[in-house]
Homo-oligomer: A and B are copies of this chain.
Amino acid sequence: MESGNACYAFLGPEGTFSHAAARALAADSGAALVGYATVTQAIDALRHGQVDGTVVPLENSVEGAVPATLDELAGNGSPLIIAAETFLPVVFDLLARPGTSLADVKTIATHPHAEAQVRRYLLTELPDATVAMVGSTAGGAKSVSEGEYDAAVAPTVAGELYALATLAHDIADNTGAVTRFVLLTRPAAPPKATGNDRTTLVTYLKEDHAGALLEILTEFGTRGVNLTRIESRPTKERIGQYCFSIDCEGHIDEARVGDAVAALHRICADVRYLGSYARRDGQQAPVVGGRTDSEFSEAASWLARIRASGVSG
């Protein structure tokens, strides 16, 4: 994140949540931003060295498919890691050309993921309007500005970009939703631990035996490492075979996390490390007794002394 010449890819066009997230994640480094037409193209640009990072949604996606992001990270392409994360509140407005009233709205343009978040609003307030799916919420706003549709469901910033009026603000069925975006980079040593970090992994089971997941969680639990997200995901190879996409508290450089991840490496078919980075959605609990770096280090010295002299006292 060092250079003022850095450049990050995002899912364009401008005016989307992805764009807002990219701006937030570029704030520290002052990276330039380049929009791409699809997530795949944005990620390929990173893999091919055309950009230094790519901003994609990972959880509770609005503008792009989260499973697609996970699948890209866990897939067979050259490895990528997460270098940073940011959370954006999901706020959708109903936008129209100035002068349009709610009663005038017969056609609405939006992206399917946005549509999923405002379904009940539209069903209640505009039951007779036709909803057209378009490639991005910002694209929908642009179409409205060009007169193709009567209204768009899009982020506030898209209304500003295309000079639209706000017919209704924050119309999501579940208010308070947020989306988590991450900055992907090519593999590199992780940033320094901050004391409030997250580590992302994918673990593939050695065999689909009873209790395999319990074993994995026990390796975290005995070392006092909390999980903040877990999802079983089918592996591509065979139905009924699972891998687990996992976020845990802490940083790979911390002893308790490194030790747990190394244990998973021993007992799993494969463990894919996807980055350690500063956590942005809360403060981790204090590390429980017996799991701090200094306690791990002291225990290693103690063991070495026993092996050399037989004395444990």
> Contact: A189 with B253, CB < 8 Å?
no
Report B-chain residues with C-beta under 8 Å of the C-beta of A265.
299, 302-303
> Contact: A281 with B133, CB < 8 Å?
no
Copies assembled: 4
Report B-chain residues with C-beta under 8 Å of the C-beta of A303.
252, 258, 261-262, 265
Tell me the smallest distance from the CB of A278 to a CB of chain B, in Å: 16
> Contact: B267 with A300, CB < 8 Å?
no
> Contact: A217 with B217, CB < 8 Å?
yes
Knowing A222-B219, A282-B239, A310-B273, say if A289 contacts B232 (CB, 8 Å).
no
Interface residues in A165-190 (C-beta closer than 8 Å to B): 174, 176-178, 187-190
Tell whether A224 is near chain B: CB-to-CB under 8 Å. Answer: yes
Interface flags for A270-304 (1: CB within 8 Å of B; 0: not) read 01110100000110010011110001100110110
Report B-chain residues with C-beta under 8 Å of the C-beta of A105.
none
Tell whether A106 is near chain B: CB-to-CB under 8 Å. Answer: no
Contact of A222 among B215, B271, B296 (CB under 8 A): B215
The CA-CA distance from A211 to B41 in the complex, in Å, is: 39
> Contact: B236 with A176, CB < 8 Å?
yes
Knowing A134-B133, A282-B240, say if A213 contacts B189 (CB, 8 Å).
no
> Contact: A299 with B262, CB < 8 Å?
yes
Tell me the smallest distance from the CB of A152 to a CB of chain B, in Å: 14
Interface flags for A241-282 (1: CB within 8 Å of B; 0: not) read 010000000001100001001110111000111010000011
Tell whether A214 is near chain B: CB-to-CB under 8 Å. Answer: yes
Residue on B with the closest CB to A275? B310
The CA-CA distance from A148 to B161 in the complex, in Å, is: 29
Report B-chain residues with C-beta under 8 Å of the C-beta of A39.
119
Contact of A258 among B296, B307, B311 (CB under 8 A): B307
Report B-chain residues with C-beta under 8 Å of the C-beta of A267.
289-290
